[in-house]
Structure 1
């Protein structure tokens, strides 16, 4: 038995598992990769995803997903956005109605254009769903670097329960009832972070990054408000906060992939080099189609789509953005 089960032994899930274990919770991490399981159980480490962190003894790893999820009060889905539905199908038969599902992925389902909480609720309709999001690199969380995040749900009493579980002296958890805004902000910022990395790879400077982040926030707000999010959410942790950290940090795999693309690699080559899921790539494809169907202006997303999927030249796309018709600066 465990208090919290993490589905997926990636970097952020492992970091949160370490944090909760230090707080005294019994943790199980499920993963399909036997090397990760053996690493956790025998060496007390996750050398593939979080090589510099020691995993406490009250974290156990399991390859049996039914056994891992059967008794835990909290089930944390720590897998990439594209794997959420498949994982929910896998655990559906072993869950009880009072088990709370927490998702820490940031993205949208590419085919359906649905938010991840909507995908989870379709598959696990009897279980409460809570979203945890915000500016939180795994490498820093595992080392108790002060971090703040947000939790949200369609029923906030479950978000408040998760807030109590995850809150520590170095990991501060806020609540926000705007589940649409929280999820959209966390998904679209990956697009801007990827574009930010491309600008770094080209060799542009601070002026360019400031312009990109500011105008990127306008895109986040336009699509987010159109989909039902509240404007104030995008100035908070899962909007501006997440945008800052992913556009500026070398922990950000989206920024790192962008740097490689800016230096001349193709999208596929860059993602292969990173070795982990680069959520901004799928997010760009999803929101490119979504903005077109909704009639929302997202010029940065549009240019990034051309670079990633149509072999456009990065410098040329930046030039095209700069030469657009003059406009009045506004957010709404």
Structure 2
């Protein structure tokens, strides 16, 4: 049980499945919780007033505007800002933590990400995650807030890598969902996931992330969870595409955001600008745009130029 000194007031911005799951975890440790969304009666100013921690668990498209509102209302420079949002801003191509960093340059920023399917968290099943920040004290504070007997939290000092691992795996989950929906077999799915990892690492390290981060919970761990479970919204997008459904129908059936759809568009723009090879992501992009069929996407990947597997994954000339 927390001491008075450990007791935190936490504003959770976002009342979706993941926001609710994180609220459940924080409640285990008896923290004061204020949950805000655009649909409840609590105002944003009431939610963040004197909060020790402000946790962003909103969709990517809402991060810039909500961050601007929080800035206008005003918060203490001691308030820890945490992002559990996974995505890339279409306008600026920034990650959520970069948006928060630019908006609140004097506040500690923490990224929370890992293999965390919200329904399993709500069910009390064991899981682990990562809190990442350049401010180790802030990362450790968030670690203590959410740690429990069934939720293990690790820290690292690579918020960008932690964030990109959680963001980019959503694109790969769409690809694996297609593979599963086409019933191409375990061999094909294993090969796809294995080749997806160096693609994600190539992107992340290009922008300064640490390669080892992608081999941990926020990278490989999150990708395995999202690419192998029907609980994953992005995986289900891929499954729907494999069944011949159009994207609008799939998203309507989901009834919630699948960030991989938006991330794919921004990622392709980034890769074109930076000259980063992204063969798997590019096929997902073409599939989402209706330019190719699922079987054509598979064929395009299988027909690529032969090469050694031992190519350096950090070499940007390698696809």
Q: Residues of 1 paired with 2:258 and 2:186: CA distance? A: 23
How well do the aligned residues superpose, as a CA RMSD in angstroms?
1.4
Where 2:168 maps in the other structure, the secondary structure is: helix
Match of 1:260 in 2: 240
Q: Tell me if structure 2 keeps the 8 A contact 1:200–1:259.
A: yes
Compute the displacement of 1:2 (Å).
7.2
2:69 aligns with 90
State the SS of the aligned residue for 2:305: coil
Rounded to whole Å, the distance in 1 between the matches of 2:155 and 2:270 is 28
Cα distance in 1, alignment partners of residues 166 and 37 from structure 2: 24
2:200 matched residue in structure 1: 220
Query: Which stretch shifts more, 321-330 or 241-250?
Result: 321-330
Distance 1:184 1:235 in 2: 12
The SS at the match of 1:150 is strand
For normalisation by structure 1, the TM-score amounts to 0.89
| 2:136 aligned partner | 156
Q: Of the candidates 302, 320, 327, which is equivalent to residue 300 of structure 2?
A: 320
Q: Contact 1:191/1:281 (CA < 8 Å) preserved in 2?
A: yes
Contact 1:108/1:115 (CA < 8 Å) preserved in 2?
Answer: yes
Q: 1:111 aligns with which of 80, 83, 91?
A: 91
- Aligned: 1:145 with 2:125: yes
Match of 2:31 in 1: 25
Q: Deviations over 1:281-320 (max 9, x none)?
A: 1111111111111111110011111111143111011111
Partner of 1:12: 18
Partner of 2:190: 210
Question: CA deviation digits over 1:164-198, x for unaligned, max 9?
Answer: 11111111111111122111111110000011111
Matches for 1:56-75 after TM superposition, within 5 Å: 62-75=41-54
- Structure 2 residue 148 is the aligned partner of structure 1 residue 172: no
**Runs of 5+ unmatched residues, structure 2:** 1-6, 315-319
**SS at 1:300's partner residue?**
helix
d(CA) in 1 for partners of 2:168, 2:283: 14
Query: 2:219 aligns to what SS in structure 1?
Result: helix
Contact 1:2 1:71 in 2 (8 A): no
Could you say what secondary structure the match of 2:116 adopts?
A: coil
Give the whole-Å Cα distance in 2 for the aligned partners of 1:94 and 1:144.
Answer: 35
The CA deviation at 1:126 is 3.0
Distance 2:307 2:264 in 1: 24
1:81 aligns with 2:87: no
Shift of 1:249: 0.8
- For the 8 Å contact 2:8–2:53, the answer to whether it is kept is no
Give 1:303's match in structure 2, choosing from 255, 270, 283. Answer: 283
Residue 211 of structure 2: aligned partner: 231
Does structure 2 conserve the Cα–Cα contact (< 8 Å) formed by 1:186 and 1:239? yes
One of 237, 242, 252 as aligned partner of 1:272: 252
Provide runs of 4+ in structure 1 moved above 6 Å. Answer: none
Alignment match, 2:265: 285
* Equivalent-residue separation in structure 2 for 1:275 and 1:109 (angstroms): 21
Q: List runs of 5+ in structure 1 lacking aligned partners.
A: 38-61
